[in-house]
Amino acid sequence: MIDKKENYDIAVVGATGAVGRRILATLDERNFPVGRLSALASVRSVGQMLPFRGKMIEVKELRENSFVGMDIALFSAGSSISKQYAPIAVKSGCVAIDNSSAWRMEKDIPLIVPEVNPSALGEKCEIIANPNCSTIQMVVALKPIHDRYRVRKVFVSTYQSVSGSGQKAIEELKHQSRNILNGKSVQKDIYPHQIAFNCLPHIDVFMENGYTKEEMKMVNETHKILGDSTIEVSPTAVRVPVFNSHSEAVSVETELPMNVDEVKDVFSSSPGISLVDNPENNEYPLAVDACGKGDVFVGRVRGGLKRDNIINFWVVSDNLLKGAAYNAVQIAELVLKRLGN
């Protein structure tokens, strides 16, 4: 565990990527007490300049000695990099907060959503895992329902933006859309099928059980975060031609009966949730409205047609912020809170 101090020296691994850049912006926007900032990336990004608090920070090559003297390392450079360098960061005295899937299901590694399971952080802060983007927004909404009514089953269909696949996927959607509108052929590099004007019920590889790896992440991570492996989670993950923000249609079955107005009050009073639920005026969560915001937006709240222990709702969040960078910085803030900051 790092020592309490006025400012903390921060390393951002994968600083030039979409999530890395948003980590820098979030550290600034949330007035995180940064002393020194080290922006780290692969050798091909060395020398790039990134803005931070009115100054330009030069990107340095990620090396084994990059974490000497650092307090917190925020990783967003993929699983292989995290597997290799997070333990090195810890040996150098850092707390390592990882955005990849590398450590999420390791038994002794906490998987944290600060609004949901802050107590899982424990006393020994070494490697801390950031959950999958789709899992994060869902469990933020499930947590208050589970606490009050005991969730038993969850059926969820995701509508995930292309930014979840990286900058190249964003460019592919742009180019395909432009070519189709101009009557030209499309090129497929990132996805197995055309993504423009299309929906793909396929995110990550298919597993032997017929679910995709992305869908099984939602199952397993939900069990770990909520601390209840008896909850039945049935996901279908779909990639949609939206640039940013993920949306989800969620149906929940609980042990106890629910009242829709009461559930809305529960959502409204829960941390990290913004209730947008006025369908009479066409007000409900939208991907375009969630962009650039750290909250999870919930709306279209309605009960089951025949049973009082079913609730249905629509949940939207910026996958690069709450689904990645914002949640990671919140974890760092939680670490500082443990130190008494």
The CATH number of residue 311's host domain is 3.30.360.10
- We report the CATH number of the domain holding residue 66 as 3.40.50.720
* Active-site pick, 94, 125, 133, 291: 133
Q: What is the pLDDT of residue 125?
A: 84
Same domain, 47 and 148: no
Task: Please tell me whether residues 151 and 266 are part of one structural domain.
Answer: yes
Given 94, 125, 146, 246, the catalytic residue: 246
Same domain, 86 and 224: no
Q: Is the pLDDT of residue 341 over 80?
A: no
Residue 2 in domain:
no
Q: What average pLDDT does range 88-105 have in this prediction?
A: 97
Q: Which residue range forms the structural domain that includes residue 230?
A: 135-319
For this structure, is 133 an active site residue?
yes
115 and 148 belong to one structural domain: no
Same domain, 84 and 225: no
Per-residue pLDDT at 122 exceeds 90:
no
Task: Report whether 247 contacts 316 (CB < 8 A).
Answer: yes
Dump pLDDT digits (tens) for 237-282. Answer: 999 999 999 999 999 999 999 999 999 999 999 999 999 999 999 9
Catalytic residue at 246?
yes
pLDDT at 338: 87
Of the candidates 179, 149, 94, 148, the one whose C-alpha atom is nearest the C-alpha of residue 307 is 149
- Looking at the structure, tell me whether residues 227 and 273 fall in a common domain: yes
pLDDT, mean of residues 102-109: 95
Residue 1 domain-assigned (yes or no)? no
Confidence bin at 3 (pLDDT 50/70/90)? confident
Task: Please give the pLDDT value at position 262.
Answer: 97
Residues 118 and 164 in one domain: no
Question: How many structural domains compose the chain?
Answer: 2
Do 122 and 264 fall into the same domain?
no
Instruction: Out of 86-90, 152-156, 164-168, 213-217, pick the least confident.
Output: 164-168
pTM of the model: 0.95
Q: Same domain for 263 and 297?
A: yes
